[in-house]
């Protein structure tokens, strides 16, 4: 844990937060930050051993962590995630929708229909269905954070359809902010390139990594701490007058005016 992380506040004491795909990478970084700020965090991923390991890592930090196996494309597992959370804590204050896949580097028009379906189902549709299950239990002043991507603003050839699904999350954020107001705020973060297992194929290549770093203003890749801090801000009462927005967290990498 770096020095910045030791100076955080306690904005989530008494709050309950669900973070999907949160046993490693950006999801775990968000869970860690929310937990260090006092939240009871409910983490999930597809494999029980990964869930157990992540829960233990959070508990060692003094965090109240609870883990549930959940493949977000499985309706019963989504419902179980919500049901177990409500059974244990009685409410939900924050939902962070982080689960995503990127199973292809094909051009969009060369991508198999089954792969297109998988991208849409996990990256977009599952976020909607998760909130559908969670919404009856969301508290007044609750918050939703979608994890989009810098790729949403300019999908690149090697990850074009993935980028398009992340573009869809920008629109979903806008639409649900209206639909869920004023009880619940809905925002998103658009991470730049962060060295995680999900991005190994990019960030482990020194040439590609250096090229990405040079595209940022800050001349470095992002960290899971960076993403956790941004998501925590949007989920907190410090962002009480912000909804329908996507915060780009990409070191100044070009996104929009």
- Which residues are known catalytic residues? 162
From CA 239, how far away is CA 101, in angstroms rounded? Answer: 29
Q: Which residues contact 83 (CB under 8 A, 6 or more apart)?
A: none
Partnered with residue 161 across adjacent β-strands are: none
Q: What is the dihedral of CA 214, 216, 221, 226, to 10 degrees?
A: 170
From CA 182, how far away is CA 43, in angstroms rounded? Answer: 26
Cα-flanking dihedrals φ and ψ of residue 255, to 5°? -135, -50
Contact 123, 166 (CB under 8 A): yes
From CA 180, how far away is CA 188, in angstroms rounded? Answer: 14
Task: Using alpha carbons, list the distances in angstroms from residue 219 to 15, 85, 179, 231, 252.
Answer: 36, 40, 39, 22, 9
Query: Based on the number of CB atoms within 10 Å of its own CB, is 182 exposed (0-12), middle (13-18) or buried (19 or more)?
Result: exposed
Q: At what angle do helices 75-89 and 126-134 cross, to 10 degrees?
A: 30
- CA 13 to the chain's CA centroid: 20
The two three-digit tokens of residue 12, written as one number: 């989530």
Partnered with residue 187 across adjacent β-strands are: 145
């Amino acid at each position: 844990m770096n020095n910045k992380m030791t100076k955080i506040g306690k904005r989530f004491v008494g709050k309950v937060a669900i973070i999907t795909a949160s046993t490693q990478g950006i999801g775990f970084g968000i869970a860690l930050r929310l937990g260090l700020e006092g939240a009871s965090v409910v983490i999930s991923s597809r494999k029980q051993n990964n869930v157990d390991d992540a829960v233990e890592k959070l508990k060692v930090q003094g965090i109240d962590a609870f883990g549930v196996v959940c493949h977000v494309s499985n309706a019963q597992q989504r419902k179980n995630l919500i049901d177990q959370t409500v059974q244990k804590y009685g409410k939900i204050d924050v939902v962070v929708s982080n689960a995503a896949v990127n199973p292809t580097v094909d051009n969009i028009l060369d991508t198999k229909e089954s792969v297109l379906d998988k991208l849409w189902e996990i990256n977009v549709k599952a976020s909607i269905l998760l909130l559908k299950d969670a919404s009856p239990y969301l508290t007044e002043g609750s918050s939703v954070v979608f994890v989009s991507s810098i790729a949403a603003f300019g999908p690149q050839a090697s990850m074009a359809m993935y980028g398009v699904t992340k573009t869809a999350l920008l629109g979903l954020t806008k639409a649900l902010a209206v639909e869920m107001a004023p009880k619940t705020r809905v925002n998103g973060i658009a991470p730049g390139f962060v060295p995680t297992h999900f991005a190994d194929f990019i960030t482990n290549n020194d040439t590609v990594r250096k090229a990405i770093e040079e595209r940022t203003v800050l001349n470095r890749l992002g960290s899971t701490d960076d993403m956790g801090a941004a998501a925590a801000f949007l989920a907190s009462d410090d962002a009480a007058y912000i909804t329908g927005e996507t915060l780009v967290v990409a070191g100044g990498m070009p996104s929009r005016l």
